[in-house]
Structure 1
Amino acid sequence: MKKFNLQLFDESRAALLRNAIADYAEIDGSYELMGTGFTTLDESPNAQTDSETYINEVTASTDITSYETEFAYESRLIPSQKAIYKLWKMGRDHATGSDAQLKYVRVELFNPIGEPSAESAEYTARLFTVANEVSENSGAGGEKISVSGTLHAVGDPIQGKFDTVAKKFTEGSFKGKYDTAAVAQS
């Protein structure tokens, strides 16, 4: 019996896999991919709300007042992976204040700006300043050492694009494949 890849016929139903989002940390002036060694790197916007019930209503009205964005991560301690080593070292050395902060870019690889090529591959992205909270370094005998923690956003994200070839972030309003009016809604 012939098997069909139904996603080829209906792209609107294809759910993204985790590798459709790339994460980069600025280490010593250049952006390093946070890939090999990371088993999770999740985003939680953590919207903060304010609710109020007016005297003529039974149901409360809620406003979003701010965000406390966090990125929980778990990784294996692979010293040759510069981003992992930097995060681990911040916790090991008990870094505080600006010494515990770094630039972090979240790149939406599913949302290209133009046509990616070997010379330039730009995607919609957000740049964050984050404070690194290392919560645990663990590993029992014979096990791989794990480093886990949370990157806490410091201030608002900066909207822009990231070129994965040049490893360069550019601030601005850019439209990717899924940001245009031409995207069909089903």
Structure 2
Amino acid sequence: MALTEVRKRTSQASYLDIAGNAASTPEFEFMGTGFTELNEEPGAQTSSKRYVNNSAATRAITGYEWQTPFNADQIKSEKAIKYIIDVGKFQKNGAEAETDYIIVDLDEAAAGENAFAARKFHVAIEVASFTDNDGEMGCEGNLLGVGDPVVGTFNTTTKTFAEGVQVGS
């Protein structure tokens, strides 16, 4: 009997646009070194109704409250971490605390060299705390989804996202 292979976290890459909303050209930076937690929580929202002819309720998915909790060491040479720190440090809000975040599935190649299936989320960066981890400074919070995700492909060399491009086999 063959063992079932569980997908590894390293088969997924995350990128943050550090140019933010003000720039016309995004500048995506890899979110790797320094991040000790970067989990995706779709946060399905449900409704429930029980009809008179049923003893059990009928439930449905009505939407999502998507978020990605993060925990990172404050490594300022890592551009994505510095960008997040600055949101909390300068208490940015509204559009100044929003940017784009991309999740790339490195195990799902797309047409073109170094292109992979990806999802782009517009996010609000919630910096919850600057932590002290035995004398080393950390940062934790959430990337909060703003609107619906966009499906496409991401080129890991050029760091560009193409919306709606179909994934190759």
Q: TM-score, normalised by structure 2?
A: 0.91
Counterpart of 1:83? 80
- State the distance in 2 between where 1:95 and 1:55 align: 51
Once the two structures are superposed, the pairs formed by residues 9-28 of structure 1 within 5 Å of their partners are 13-28=4-19
- State the distance in 1 between where 2:143 and 2:128 align: 11
- State the distance in 2 between where 1:160 and 1:154 align: 17
The alpha-carbon deviation at position 26 of structure 1 amounts to: 0.7
Once the two structures are superposed, the pairs formed by residues 106-185 of structure 1 within 5 Å of their partners are 106-114=103-111, 120-139=113-132, 143-177=135-169
- State the distance in 2 between where 1:85 and 1:61 align: 46
* Mapped contact 2:153–2:167 kept (Cα < 8 A): no
- State the distance in 1 between where 2:55 and 2:165 align: 41
User: In the alignment, is residue 66 of structure 1 matched against residue 101 of structure 2?
Assistant: no
Q: Could you list the runs of 5+ residues in structure 2 that have no partner in the other structure? A: 20-25
The alpha-carbon deviation at position 127 of structure 1 amounts to: 0.5
CA separation of 1:165/1:100 partners in 2, compared to 1, >3 Å: closer, same or farther? Answer: same
- State the distance in 2 between where 1:42 and 1:112 align: 22
Indicate the structure (1 or 2) with the bigger Cα radius of gyration. 1
Identity of aligned residues (%): 35
Q: Which runs of 4+ in 1 moved over 6 A?
A: none
Counterpart of 1:184? none
Q: TM-score, normalised by structure 1?
A: 0.83
* Mapped contact 2:110–2:168 kept (Cα < 8 A): yes
Counterpart of 2:22? none
* Mapped contact 2:125–2:142 kept (Cα < 8 A): yes
